[in-house]
Structure 1
Amino acid sequence: MASVRDRMRSHLLQTLSGTDDGSPQWVLDLERGDDAGYFGPGSASWAVHGGMATMVAGIRALLLQALHPGAMAGVHDWSRYREDPLGRLTGTIRWLITVTFGDRATAERSSAMVRGLHRRVQGEYVDARGESRSYKASDPDLIEWVHLAFTDSFLACHELWEAPIPGGVDAYVREWAVAGRLIGMEHPPETAAELRARLDAFARDGVLKSDDRVREIVRFIRNPPLARGMLPAYRIMFAGAVASLEPQHRRMLGLGKPPLLVVPATSAVLRSARGLLGERSTSEEAARSRIARLQREGWSPDAGERPAA
């Protein structure tokens, strides 16, 4: 009979990857490919996306993204988050992991699929000034907002709950600008200061908005349909995500500032998750196996593509 620990590990891996062992076929496929990918071992992106704080960062990013009425319209009109919330979550995780740990060709194919989905998502929304606007998910301002919210969330949570980033915070923003370009963003920020200035500009320019749709998504993110045994830990991580938000964003989301105890409590939950999952994810292990294979075949980081046999 499976122990409580085994059941918790299985539930967590199912939520994050779609399988109870953390090794769906797309993760196993990360062992294939002819290069180390866009980043590689020792990179800022591997450090950030390989950390446990990503679980809190994902919650934070969803909350922050909801404040742009165009992005919120895309989720409201097109997403199946109510019917299949974990499916949407694992789809986002798959893209993140593939771009981070996959070889370049795989990262580009995955991003091309995202761009294709974006082209189909379109409709109308009422902006913060009360004016009706048409949108496509591929619109530059929506791509920019989603990238900024994502990057800021993963950076903020890593700074709160993980070890220092190799090369510093600017290294992560500069590296992850690659992902922004892969999904169609022309000029992603390349320093933490630029990232935060551009985020602030959305609020300063009156683009962001709080309304019934935002309140609905906040309620859903606060109480998602997870396995009962995971809910206590999830609620602490939700509170941690709220604590990591800028005060102006918390206010717009209708969320109060959590007590100071939330930050160390979240740290304890993340340590427990690391104890369940191990120091390295199955995705990172697959990427390391790919790179080790290429090195045995004569590839080196300076050589680029694998040499022809």
Structure 2
Amino acid sequence: MPGDPGLFGPCSVTWQMHGDPMMWIAGLRALHLQALHPRAVRGVLQNSAACQRNSRGRRDAWGRLMRTAHFVGTLTYGTTEAAERAGARVRRIHRTLSATDPATGERYGIDDPALLLWVHCAEVDSCLHVLRRSGCPVSDAQADTSLREQRASARLVGLDPAAVPGDRAALAACFARVRPDLALTPEAREVDDFLRRPPTPLALVPARALLWQRVAHLAYGALPPCAHALYGRPAPPPGTVTRRLRATGCVLRAVPPALRRRLPPRHILRAVERLGPGARPAPYKLRRTAAILDGQDWQGELRD
């Protein structure tokens, strides 16, 4: 394909997965997980307008969510130069920020590798968990491939790629190591409260009750049982959550092609403009990418 494919390119598992509409639910699940790490969530809230008690600060939490989505979109679908530039900006900001442990008074940097690794692992785990559980055709081999690919994203936020899990077994081991450190802190409660009832204009409160709370409830239900236990709020039975995830995924992925072409985020639209219509991500292409992992001719599949 003409043009710069960026960090991953259209043949990657990451390229196809990040174009799935269920990524938004995966993002909410990741935020719930990340908030359970006391040092990580303090680092965010102590340096964010989201922790301010005035209405402007609360609204800025939406801005933070949109900036995070923009960053992921740039790393996935932007040019190599754009991705490197975005990563350099994030590293530069992180180097200037720190947080304080209220119990000990210890001051620590936001760019602590252990904290960055937890944030990364919560993100990639949520992406894999929600997409696969909702019916996106990601095989075990593709799941491991996506984790290896995401080491490139980890490098851009300041992590050593060699220290980042590159398969599902290593990711599970990382969660097992961090599990004793997780706790429900006041900061985690604040994040949970925001995700359940984000501030909205009065006219949109009915829509929040009708749509957002269902989405947030679904993301919460997709958390692991240990997270439910820490938050102290019950979740529907796993089978019920899976059925709801699959139903939601089916509805979102069934949007007619003519309408889908008008819906993708601008990062995807720009990538298609740069690389051609064959670069558009789609769930069915994951079945094709499985061919290369099985030793078949993926490039031949793509040409066909």
Q: TM-score range by the shorter chain?
A: 0.7 to 0.9
Asked if the contact 2:26/2:127 (under 8 Å) is kept, the reply is yes
- Higher mean C-alpha displacement, 144-153 vs 132-141: 132-141
One-letter amino acid of the structure 2 residue matched with residue 140 of structure 1: P
Is 1:109 equivalent to 2:93 in the alignment?
Answer: no
Distance 1:59 1:267, change over 3 A: same
Identity %: 32
Is 1:243 equivalent to 2:212 in the alignment?
Answer: no
Asked if the contact 2:130/2:245 (under 8 Å) is kept, the reply is no
| DSSP-derived class of the 1:123 partner | strand
Q: What's the CA shift for 1:207?
A: 1.9
Q: What's the CA shift for 1:34?
A: 5.0
Distance 1:256 1:132, change over 3 A: farther
- Higher mean C-alpha displacement, 139-148 vs 67-76: 67-76
One-letter amino acid of the structure 2 residue matched with residue 209 of structure 1: A
Residue of structure 2 equivalent to 1:213: 187
Is 1:118 equivalent to 2:102 in the alignment?
Answer: no
Q: Compute the RMSD of aligned alpha carbons.
A: 2.5
The structure showing larger relative contact order (alpha-carbon pairs under 8 Å, at least 6 residues apart) is 2
Asked if the contact 1:53/1:162 (under 8 Å) is kept, the reply is no
Distance 2:152 2:135 in 1: 23
Residue of structure 1 equivalent to 2:296: none
Could you list the runs of 5+ residues in structure 1 that have no partner in the other structure? 1-32, 296-309
- Higher mean C-alpha displacement, 247-256 vs 58-67: 247-256
Asked if the contact 2:47/2:99 (under 8 Å) is kept, the reply is no
| DSSP-derived class of the 1:171 partner | helix
Asked if the contact 1:119/1:136 (under 8 Å) is kept, the reply is yes
Alignment of 1:1-309 (within 5 A): 34-81=3-50, 82-126=58-102, 131-165=104-138, 167-186=141-160, 187-203=163-179, 206-226=180-200, 227-228=204-205, 229-259=207-237, 260-274=239-253, 275=255, 278=260, 281-282=264-265, 283-292=267-276
Distance 1:236 1:269 in 2: 11
Q: What's the CA shift for 1:70?
A: 1.2
Distance 2:165 2:84 in 1: 20
| DSSP-derived class of the 1:135 partner | strand
Asked if the contact 1:114/1:183 (under 8 Å) is kept, the reply is yes
Could you list the runs of 5+ residues in structure 2 that have no partner in the other structure? 51-57, 280-304
Distance 2:186 2:233 in 1: 14
Q: What's the CA shift for 1:232?
A: 2.2
- The TM-score with structure 1 as length reference comes to 0.76
Distance 1:189 1:36, change over 3 A: same
Query: What is the total number of aligned residue pairs between the two structures?
Result: 258
